[in-house]
Chain A
Amino acid sequence: MGKFWSLVFLSVPVLGVAVFVAAASWGYWFPQNVSAHGGQIDHLFMVILWLTGAVFLATEIVLAVSLWRFDGAKSPRARFSRGNMRIELGLAAVVGLLLVFITVYQLEDWAEAKIRQPDLPPTVEVNGRQFEWVMRYPGPNGELGDADDLFSPGDLHVPVDEDILVSLVSEDVLHSFYLPNLRIKQDAVPGMRIPVWFRATETGVFDLVCAELCGWGHYKMAGRLIVESRADYEAFLTRLEAEQNEDGFEEQQPTAANTSQRHPSVAEVVYRRAAR
């Protein structure tokens, strides 16, 4: 039976590699990358995949081979050995070096992705609430956070090939601002304003996903990312401004009060109401 079980365990590395090869060739792979920095993240993933893949193959094959070779039915007596400290230390050194390499190799990209915030005013404020994304663009005066801001739920419009700084907030519970095609993910936390930055390199319509469980409607908290040319983007803002001003009702009042009237959040409602 030793050979049979050896083959069972050998199937793990064989099928494991086969699955990855098949997935790559049948298109079950990364989402299409349309961001300036995404290629680097994919590259890092592949570096780790190759490294871990090599270790995976080596260890799993050694496991299968030892089952084949040292089947109790045919071996006379086990070789008595309590271990070998020199091999252990050598192994630890090699693995340690690999791990240090992985750590150091991606430090720079982490800093680019999350620490070195580009020096530009926020392009848009993205507000997560159950269960939709509400975008807030600066109005005609170009400043975000004043009375002439423009609101638009669902779709996030951004100009192509420009640095975008998103100011991420949440109104009620945790959400996660996830753009698979841009390799962007960041939780939105109530009470915090978190900057997210990227640069889209291709026009098109992509998914905006909520990746943090936010209630029963989490699965449908979908938005769209619309990457368009500068001209289209400005046309969109103009259109939005026109739509918003048609209401007439909102112009006189301060925006903040407006917002809370238009979008009473669960958190606000609960906090306001005297506790039960």
Chain B
Amino acid sequence: MALTTPMKKISIILERVLKDDIIDLIKKNGAKGWTLTEVNGEGSRGMRASEFEGRNFQIDTIVNAECADRILQQLSASYFSHWSLVVYLSDIQILRAEKYQ
């Protein structure tokens, strides 16, 4: 069997303007990498400031459980009052886990 290790994937859906900040935040809290996808969407707010400026972003970052917890707490503390980020965790099994911790 191929050797996989359980890790967490954090997915964050954010507005364009927050990109640099959020990447800073996850890196400071121990993420070793991230993957960004351009997305569209609809949620609690019908209207988004960034709609006219282009799409939103989804950032996925693969981290271990402690790091995931730290990032989630930081995100809640810093952004949840003014911004309506969508943040969720999934369980994954990764190859070469040493790269991500």
Indicate, yes or no, whether A interacts with B. Answer: no
